[in-house]
Amino acid sequence: MTNPTIAIVQEAPVFLNLSASVEKAITHMEEAAKASANIIVFPETWLPGYPVWLDFAPGAGLWDDPGAKTLFRLLAENSVQLGDDHLARLQESCDRLGTYMVMGAHERIGNTLYNSTLYFMPGAGNPVPHRKLMPTYTEKLVWGWGDGSTLATVDTPWGTLGGLICWEHWMPLARAAMHAKGEAIHIAQWPMVKEMNHVASRHYAFEGRCAVAAAGAVITKADVMAGFHSLAVNAPEAESLLASMPGDDDTQIHTGGSAIIAADGSYIADPVYGRTGLVMGEVDMAKQLEECQALDTDGHYSRPDVFELKVNTRAMPGVTFGED
């Protein structure tokens, strides 16, 4: 049984700039592939950056705030859409490098944005999306709700690859549904991986008897402002809202914390805080299978005679027409 090497890209995107962030992603993919990575992982909404103003800018949640509205527009203008040229560029890189890649992105459908994970497979043609089921707290100001039609996994030579986004890891039924899909490798995307996020990620690995790549970004206030300025737009209200975040240029808004976790909850690659770079580790698949002797939550430890979960995997649009 071969063992996959996972590389987490703990870097900042070119904040709010989709085209520039795609080019930067390809550079990091090439770096990871050169280091013999089989699966390359980016953090939550890395394309083109987690909306940090929701957490740190005073006034971001005020009704009809012109800065928040402008930032939403800029984010919508710099979000991916399935089938677009940006995703095609990333797919071409996966094909060329022969690697699997998991990207966190803002995805636009109509005029609604989603917090999405995109699974790229070499030679597949198009990425497979998962859209976050429940935006957390202030995230509801930016993202809509996903549905069960994108509770996705993909096949790899090392087994099933799946993932959840941020606080989805505290949704017990979402975890149960993903465990039932038989994940061998799970991607846990976070803005940054704080202590409680490590608790959730390590618990997921132990409960699901799978390897977990917990991915977070490192981004400074200077990165945020430089990314905004790279757009070369006249949007003083948006710039002012971003500038209102506390700290100076060197202040780290997100501090990384990426790690790779084994199926027994131990670390394959210890958490890395405060610096950029690749966080890499090799998963021992044989040892992982051995852990299932004591616990298999979708198998001999499941008690289906007592518990039953039904998952609605139909797409749930707001409007359907007769021919649909």
pLDDT for 271-285, tens place per residue? Answer: 999 999 999 999 999
Catalytic residue among 24, 132, 139, 183: 132
What CATH number corresponds to the domain at position 99? Answer: 3.60.110.10
Q: What is the mean pLDDT of residues 304-309?
A: 95
Instruction: Give Cα 52 to chain centroid, integer Å.
Output: 15
Burial of 16 (C-beta count, 10 Å sphere; 0-12/13-18/19+):
buried
Q: State yes or no: is 168 an active-site residue.
A: no
- Please tell me whether the overall predicted TM-score, pTM, comes out greater than 0.85 for this model: yes
Cβ–Cβ under 8 Å, residues 224 and 197: no
In a domain? residue 164: yes
pLDDT at 1: 56
In a domain? residue 324: no
Q: What is the mean pLDDT of residues 167-173?
A: 98
Please report how many Cα atoms fall inside a 13 Å half-sphere around the Cα of residue 106, on the Cβ side: 27
The residue range of the domain holding 242 is 5-293
In a domain? residue 100: yes
pLDDT at 191: 98
Q: Tell me how many domains the chain contains.
A: 1
In a domain? residue 302: no
In a domain? residue 49: yes
pLDDT at 247: 95
Q: State yes or no: is 139 an active-site residue.
A: no
In a domain? residue 311: no
Instruction: Give Cα 245 to chain centroid, integer Å.
Output: 24
Q: State yes or no: is 132 an active-site residue.
A: yes
Which two tokens mark 188?
Answer: 């846990």
211 pLDDT above the threshold of 80: yes
Catalytic residue among 107, 166, 168, 210: 166
In a domain? residue 307: no
In a domain? residue 319: no
pLDDT at 323: 74
180 pLDDT above the threshold of 60: yes
